[in-house]
Structure 1
Amino acid sequence: MASEPFNPEILSHVEKFWQGRKPHSPIYAFLLSDIKLTHASKGLVRARLQLTNNHVNAHGGIHGSVSATLIDRVGGMAIAAWDNRMKTGVSTDIHISYVGSAKDGDEIEVEGVAKKVGGTLAFTTATISKVVDGEPGPIIATGSHTKFVKA
């Protein structure tokens, strides 16, 4: 899946999907208003976000809830990129492993991959990395996300 080439039509669809969702979710609007989609292909999306004070915990590192929100959101976008759907279901399970950190002012990249989208469930994975010299660098968190997608 990760070898799928960039597809501007899928990127346009995922951007439209995101713009339709953001106004209906105050948490997405607050935490992810500045996220920028950088890549989309079948079942794969990448986005970048510049961290601000709103994204960090009392110790100055990216807050775990921000990582969870990113994994949730990018999972939905990867499902939307699977087959250009506008409904991506509801979460049934999310798992996150926190392995690094980033701070206010750092840029991060999040990559979401839809591993399987079936008639009832969809399974996604995500990786959040710190951007170093314009490229994804150290991993901050990894996650898996299952969504109930049956209409």
Structure 2
Amino acid sequence: MSSNGPLKRVVFIVNHLAKSKGFDNMFSTLNIVAATQNKVTAEYVVKSEHCNNHETLHGGFTATAIDFLTTVALMIDEEDSRPGVSLNLSVNYLKALKVGEKVTVEGEVLRKGRSVAYTTARILNEKGDLAAHGTHIKHLGQ
């Protein structure tokens, strides 16, 4: 894969998923800024429709973003682009993210075996502070 191949592939994957009629379409405004063979970095502006009554990003949306971006990171590899199914998703919430705030989301594959993949994600606020951290273990089906 060429040096910009992973980025092109991630943009294609995200655009395809965001156009779906399913849950993934909530990421239609996700801006992919970087990608390598096992890591994706994206930016997102917090919208009111994804917030709780305190006008901060809802924890469920945060968990979904971690699920989504770690899955996209798994799909970069053209030789083995299985998205897998979740075995475990764990999120630590460290700082609130407010409406209108630009956040950075990073998803990375730590290890990908025959049947299980281990991934991690970080969500950073505008200052670069860690707002949420997640781990996502996925069964790959073999």
Question: Normalising to structure 2: TM-score of the pair?
Answer: 0.91
Matching residue within 34, 52, 57 for 1:62: 57
Q: Deviations over 1:52-84 (max 9, x none)?
A: 111211011110011101100111111122x23
Structure 1 residues 148 and 25: CA distance shift in structure 2, 3 A: farther
Match of 1:124 in 2: 119
Task: Give the superposition deviation at 1:20.
Answer: 2.5
Task: Give the superposition deviation at 1:87.
Answer: 2.6
Alignment check: 8 A CA contact 1:17 1:86 kept = no
Match of 2:131 in 1: 140
Q: Deviations over 1:112-140 (max 9, x none)?
A: 110001110111000001123xxxx1111
CA RMSD of aligned residues (A): 1.6
Task: Give the superposition deviation at 1:97.
Answer: 0.3
Alignment check: 8 A CA contact 2:74 2:81 kept = no
CA distance in 2, matches of 1:25, 1:99: 31
CA distance in 2, matches of 1:75, 1:50: 19
Task: Give the superposition deviation at 1:86.
Answer: 3.6
Match of 1:99 in 2: 94
Structure 1's consecutive aligned runs of 4 or more residues displaced over 4 angstroms after TM superposition are none
Structure 1 residues 25 and 149: CA distance shift in structure 2, 3 A: farther
2:100 aligned with 1:114: no
What amino acid does structure 1 have at the position aligned with 2:52? N
Question: Normalising to structure 1: TM-score of the pair?
Answer: 0.86
Match of 2:33 in 1: 38
CA distance in 2, matches of 1:111, 1:44: 7
Task: Give the superposition deviation at 1:25.
Answer: 4.9
2:13 aligned with 1:17: yes
CA distance in 2, matches of 1:35, 1:12: 14
Identical positions, percent? 26
